[in-house]
Amino acid sequence: MPNPTAAMLVIGDEILSGRTRDSNMHFLAGELTKRGIRLAEVRVVPDDSEAIVAAVRALSKAYDSVFTSGGIGPTHDDITADCIAAAFGVTIGVHPEARDRLAAFAEARGNELNEARLRMARIPDGATLIDNPISAAPGFTIGNVHVMAGVPTVFEAMVAGVLPTLVGGAPLLSQSLTIHRPEGEVAGPLGKLATEYSDLSIGSYPFSREGIFGTNIVIRGTEPGRVDAAMSDLAELFPEAVR
């Protein structure tokens, strides 16, 4: 059976404007790889209801799991929860357990559970909560969509809570080789190797260091023997290369 697939939907004007650098995709990709789930697509959309709803519907149909980040906070532009409800055709309201968690968190810090904070307890009907051990405001799962905060520490904690509930596959293994030749010189032999090992992912990543051009070759697959064999053949093609 092929490994399960996943997509990520990053939501927020601040990402698209360049004001905020997204680190959540890098983290999620690494964690999914460990579990044998292939992150196959990442989309970034603005704080726009139509764009979010359309993306959620498309991604949830195309992949086994979808992870969203951003837009579930207390401010007016945090519209993700409403959009997810619209995408699934369900109502949304204050979830009692989510409210209790936020109330306890606020009380412990001498704060009031005001209207703004209560917005973070609004959960689509039928969704289950995702724990937030950092700041209490939960994410949620509905269908195959896992809705999470954009703050990296909170996102990472939520991912840690969700991953054990997902069916994984064979872990994706990778090995790399550094060749001190420009990519144009390695493309021919590398293409033949990729044809021979069509069951593996063979990526070519050029670099330039102190005026010297080189290429990093990364071979990925789920079968250790095949990855080892491909790496051996690659090393024979470029004996000067460095692992």
CATH number of 173-237: 3.30.70.1130
Token look-up 């033949």 returns: 192
Which two three-digit tokens encode residue 132? 């937030």
Give domain 5-165's CATH superfamily: MoaB/Mog-like domain (3.40.980.10)
What is the chain's alpha carbon radius of gyration, rounded to the nearest angstrom?
A: 22
How many C-beta atoms surround the C-beta of residue 142 within 10 A?
21
Beta pairing, strands 139-142 & 201-209: unpaired
What are the angstrom distances between the C-alpha of 243 and each of 134, 174, 221?
Answer: 40, 12, 17
Tell me the C-alpha distance between 118 and 167, whole Å.
33
Q: Which residues pair with 128 in a beta bridge?
A: 141
Looking at residue 130, what DSSP letter applies?
A: E
Q: Where are the domains of the chain?
A: 5-165, 173-237
Whether 173-237 and 5-165 are alike in CATH topology: the answer is: no
Q: Rounded to an integer, what distance in angstroms lies between the CA atom of residue 210 and that of residue 135?
A: 45
Angle at alpha carbon of residue 146, lines to 143 and 55, rounded to 5°: 80
How many Å apart are CA 126 and CA 91, to the nearest integer? Answer: 9
- The pLDDT value given to residue 243: 64
Give pLDDT tens digits for 92-120: 999 999 999 999 999 999 999 999 999 99
Whole-model pTM above 0.95?
Answer: no
Report d(CA 218, CA 141) in Å as an integer.
Answer: 34
Note the pLDDT tens digit of each residue in 52-98.
999 999 999 999 999 999 999 999 999 999 999 999 999 999 999 99
